[in-house]
Chain A
Amino acid sequence: MIEKILIVDDSPVSRKIMKTCIPEDRGYELLEAGDGRSGIDKYQLSNPDLTFMDLTMPVMDGMQALQEIMKIDPQAVVIVCTADVQMKTIFKVMNLGALMVVRKPINKQAIDDALRKAEEKLRNIK
């Protein structure tokens, strides 16, 4: 069951778009971070059920942050949300433990599908 969602993205616009695509009526608690390093800090502090992670970010990129989060919590549910849609990028993040990749620009349907997949994964973990 998803209660807390962490959005890690350096673009305030991208975070805003993500928040509008996440259904409001489900009452999720939404947390935000503006780079990979702060994303890891927020992850450790808040232990979210699901993390949406951008890749191209300052301070620490999403690839590194994903790796760190998976070390801290191998059961972490992380969905990479990126404009970098190279096949090698997708293979890399999937190998690092991402649940799936959502391509930017995102839309409500893509995020709804991602949420469903995350719920399924969380059910299997429990």
Chain B
Amino acid sequence: MSNSEIIISEEERDILQEVMNIAFGKASADLADIIDVYVVLSIPHIKLMKTGEVAGYIEAEIDNLENISVIKQSYSGKFHGTALLLFPDGAGKKLFSLFDNGGEGPGESEEISFGLEKETLLEVGNILIGASVSKVADLLDDVVSYRPPRIIIESRPGDIVDWDLAEPDAPAILMHTVFGFENRDISGLLFLLPSYKSLAWLKKALHAFLEQYV
């Protein structure tokens, strides 16, 4: 029996993929509204694995990057888990220039303070994570609350992907997508990892989502 049969059926995976598609679409629209730059969205991916394999999987996904900045935020409700937003080193400065377009602050090439870079990343994380997670919860008839985000600048993912390792054999559903910005050399990866404790609820909620149409 494969992992996918154990954790989630093919139909449940398809429903989840569509829910993620809607949620990531909402998040990109929210961000595009603020920075007035077209946010290029890729097809969301769903990977089934063991919790203990998640860090290694994420590390492999960003193997080409030397340093990364990470915004990590936990959410809780019936749908609960952790979201991670990863950007390559220096993205905070570039993102700041998008927020500051037309303003009087420093341009992309100019120096911005560490504090300002951190604030920019936190704001982008707040929009993308908040909009994605809240939309998933909304579509699945749930409401979530958030813990304050943590931000780590210039780190390796192994240092921050440390959740639920007390249960390394527990099943995990890792959802992720890539956000890019049109005509800008910036892209980020957003990962959502629901806690394995919410998987039973998630499966039921996915069926309920589809049943409202049939």
Contacts and interface: CB of A to CB of B under 8 A. Distances in A.
B25 A83 contact: yes
A83 B43 contact: no
B24 A13 contact: no
Interface in A10-56: 10-14, 16-17, 20-21, 56
A13 B38 contact: no
Given A57-B43, A104-B22, A88 B14 contact: no
Interface in B162-200: none
B210 A84 contact: no
Nearest to B24: A83
B75 to A, nearest CB: 20
B213 to A, nearest CB: 5
A56 B179 CA distance: 13
Contacts of B24: 83
B38 A12 contact: no
B21 to A, nearest CB: 5
Interface in B122-173: 139
Contacts, number: 62
A10 B43 contact: yes
B43 A17 contact: no
A56 B43 contact: yes
Interface residues of A, number: 22
Interface in B12-36: 14-15, 17-18, 21-26, 28-29, 32-33
A20 B213 contact: yes
A84 B213 contact: no
B1 interface: no
Interface centre among B26, B29, B210 (most CB of A within 10 A): B29
Given A56-B41, A84-B28, A86-B38, A11 B22 contact: no
B33 A83 contact: no
Contacts of B41: 56, 84
Interface of B: 11, 14-15, 17-18, 21-26, 28-29, 32-33, 38-39, 41-43, 139, 210, 213-214
Interface of A: 10-14, 16-17, 20-21, 56-58, 82-89, 104-105
| Pairs of residues from A and B, 3 with the lowest C-beta to C-beta distance, nearest first | A83-B25, A83-B22, A86-B32
